[in-house]
Amino acid sequence: MTDDRIDAQTAYEWGLVNKVVPFDKLDGEVDKLCQTLLHKFPWALRFTKTQLNFWADLSSAVLFQGRDFWGMHVGTTPEMMEGISAFLEKRPTGVMDMRAKAASGKPAEYHWGAPLKDCPKCGAKNLPDDFEFCGKCGTKLG
């Protein structure tokens, strides 16, 4: 749930993988695994695969729900937009700053402040409250 990357040895220690081998020995290990599977009873492999597919198919309903959730929220909420931007830019998120802003009573629904200001010089409307200068003409905002 944390999206932390783990190395192969940690994955092995946690039981996420059965074996860790150096890259130059990978083909040999794959061949050994294939030989092991070739010597198993085909009906047992088929039954096991059917059971695994059943549970994978059953979990797909949850995956579709998750896909729909992400599709609706990624570009529509400030925290999600910040999270995706931080991921793409390979930097920590600024969501705690956004939450602190909300806790202090300032609107956090907008990344750069609520659209409350207008420019007296060029007439640009709905400029973010946090802006000190107009984003269109550069005039200092009051």
25-60 per-position pLDDT tens digit:
999 999 999 999 988 888 888 888 888 888 777 777
Residues forming beta bridges with residue 115, ordered by sequence position? 128
CA–CA distance, 128 with 95 (Å, rounded to integer): 18
* Confidence band of 118 (pLDDT split at 50, 70, 90): very high
* Confidence band of 70 (pLDDT split at 50, 70, 90): confident
Question: Do 127 and 109 contact (CB within 8 A), yes or no?
Answer: no
Residues forming beta bridges with residue 127, ordered by sequence position? 117
List the structure tokens of 98: 């956004």
Q: Cα dist. 96→27, 62, 85, 107, 131 in Å?
A: 46, 29, 15, 14, 20
Q: Cα dist. 68→18, 71, 72, 76, 115 in Å?
A: 33, 5, 6, 13, 29
Cβ-Cβ contacts under 8 Å for 110 (sequence gap 6 or more): 78, 128, 129
Sign of CA dihedral 115, 111, 142, 133: negative
Helices (H), 1-140: 8-13, 26-38, 42-73, 78-89, 95-103
Entry pTM: 0.42
CA–CA distance, 73 with 27 (Å, rounded to integer): 42
